[in-house]
Amino acid sequence: MRLDRFIAETTGMSRKEATKVLQRDTVTVDGIAQKKTSFQVPEGAHVIWNDMQLELAGPTYLMMHKPLDCVCANHDSRHRTVFTYIDVPNIKALHTVGRLDLDTTGLLLITDDGQWSHRITSPKQQCLKIYHAWVSEPLTEENISAFAAGLELTGEDKPTAPALLEILNEREALVHVHEGRYHQVRRMFAAIGNNVEKLHREQVGSLRLDADLAPGECRVLTAEEIALF
Ligand code: URA
What does the pLDDT average to over 184-189?
98
The CATH number linked to 81 is 3.30.70.580
pLDDT of residue 56: 86
Is 96's pLDDT higher than 80? yes
What does the pLDDT average to over 123-131?
97
183 lines ligand 1 (CB under 6 A): yes
Phi and psi (nearest 5°) for 115? -70, -40
Instruction: Tell me whether residue 8 is in a domain.
Output: yes
**Distance from C-alpha of 4 to C-alpha of 44, rounded to nearest angstrom:** 16
* Residue 210 · residue 192 · CB < 8 Å: no
Angle, helices 3-11 vs 15-24, to 10°: value is 110
Instruction: Tell me whether residue 210 is in a domain.
Output: no
Instruction: Tell me whether residue 209 is in a domain.
Output: no
Domain that holds residue 118: 60-99+106-122+216-229
pLDDT of residue 9: 85
What does the pLDDT average to over 16-35?
96
Same domain, 181 and 199: yes
**Distance from C-alpha of 141 to C-alpha of 166, rounded to nearest angstrom:** 10
Same domain, 110 and 132: no
**Which of 11-15, 31-35, 94-98, 152-156 bottoms out in mean pLDDT, i.e. has the lowest?**
11-15
**Which of 6-20, 23-37, 155-169, 210-224 bottoms out in mean pLDDT, i.e. has the lowest?**
6-20
The CATH number linked to 19 is 3.10.290.10
pLDDT of residue 198: 98
**Distance from C-alpha of 102 to C-alpha of 99, rounded to nearest angstrom:** 9
Candidates 184, 187, 189, 195: which one to mutate for ligand 1, based on the most atoms within 8 Å of Cβ?
A: 184
181 lines ligand 1 (CB under 6 A): no
* Residue 100 · residue 182 · CB < 8 Å: no
Same domain, 34 and 84: no
- Structural domains counted in the chain: 3
Beta strands 95-96 and 104-111 are antiparallel
Same domain, 31 and 143: no
Indicate the pLDDT class of residue 171, thresholds 50, 70 and 90.
very high
Is 68's pLDDT higher than 90? yes
Cβ contacts of 77 within 8 Å, gap of 6 or more: none
**Distance from C-alpha of 217 to C-alpha of 74, rounded to nearest angstrom:** 17
Same domain, 13 and 44: yes
